[in-house]
């Protein structure tokens, strides 16, 4: 009897531990437009105005990069934003700032530090 109870408790903790945390930072909700894209803290020649995101309350997002469109699910865990495009692997970026008007995140693409700044539309 004690072994069965112990197994049930261990199974419960295993399930809880495997669930992905999601605090769905409410500051991200809404539509965002890129304003600045830095590479190693310097202008990188990328047109940030071609980038936009929409984070929805239901945990889905839409993104546009020039003429490329993307959609999927999103979640946050403390200062990390995770997105997962349909059929693709989950991607993580670090949130440097997320408030009612500004969103700044840092990513590492190909070994280079990139910072994208966005404003709420």
The predicted pLDDT at position 16 comes to 41
pLDDT, one tens digit per residue, over 37-87 is 999 999 988 899 999 999 999 999 999 999 999 999 999 999 999 999 989
Query: Does residue 8 belong to any structural domain of this protein?
Result: no
pLDDT, one tens digit per residue, over 100-118 is 899 999 998 788 999 999 9
CATH code of the domain covering residue 116: 2.40.128.280
More confident site: 15 or 63: 63
Which of these, 105, 44, 2, 43, lies nearest to 10 by C-alpha position?
2
pTM of the model as a whole: 0.80
Query: Does residue 18 belong to any structural domain of this protein?
Result: no
Query: Does residue 100 belong to any structural domain of this protein?
Result: yes
Domain count, the chain: 1
Query: Does residue 54 belong to any structural domain of this protein?
Result: yes
Q: Which residue is it, tokens 């190909």?
A: 110
Query: Does residue 4 belong to any structural domain of this protein?
Result: no
Full 3-state SS string of the chain: CHHHHHHHHHHHHHHHHHCCCCCCCHHHCEEEEEEEEEECCEECCCCHHHEEEEECCCCEEEEEECCEEEEEEEEEECCEEEEEECCCCEEEEEEEEECCCEEEEEEEECCEEEEEEEEEC
Query: Which residues span the domain enclosing 95?
Result: 23-120
| Whole-Å CA distances, 25 to 55, 77, 104, 110, 113 | 10, 8, 14, 27, 23
């Amino acid at each position: 009897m004690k072994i069965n109870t112990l197994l049930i408790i261990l199974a419960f903790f295993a399930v809880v531990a495997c669930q992905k945390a999601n605090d769905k930072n409410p500051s991200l909700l809404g539509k965002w437009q890129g304003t600045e894209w830095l590479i190693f803290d310097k202008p990188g020649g990328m047109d940030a105005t071609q980038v936009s995101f929409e984070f929805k309350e239901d945990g889905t997002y839409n993104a546009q990069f020039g003429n490329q469109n993307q959609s999927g699910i999103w979640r946050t865990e403390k200062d990390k934003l995770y997105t997962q495009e349909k059929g693709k692997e989950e991607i993580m970026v670090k949130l440097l700032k997320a408030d009612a008007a500004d969103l700044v995140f840092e990513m590492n693409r190909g070994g280079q530090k990139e910072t994208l700044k966005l404003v709420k539309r």
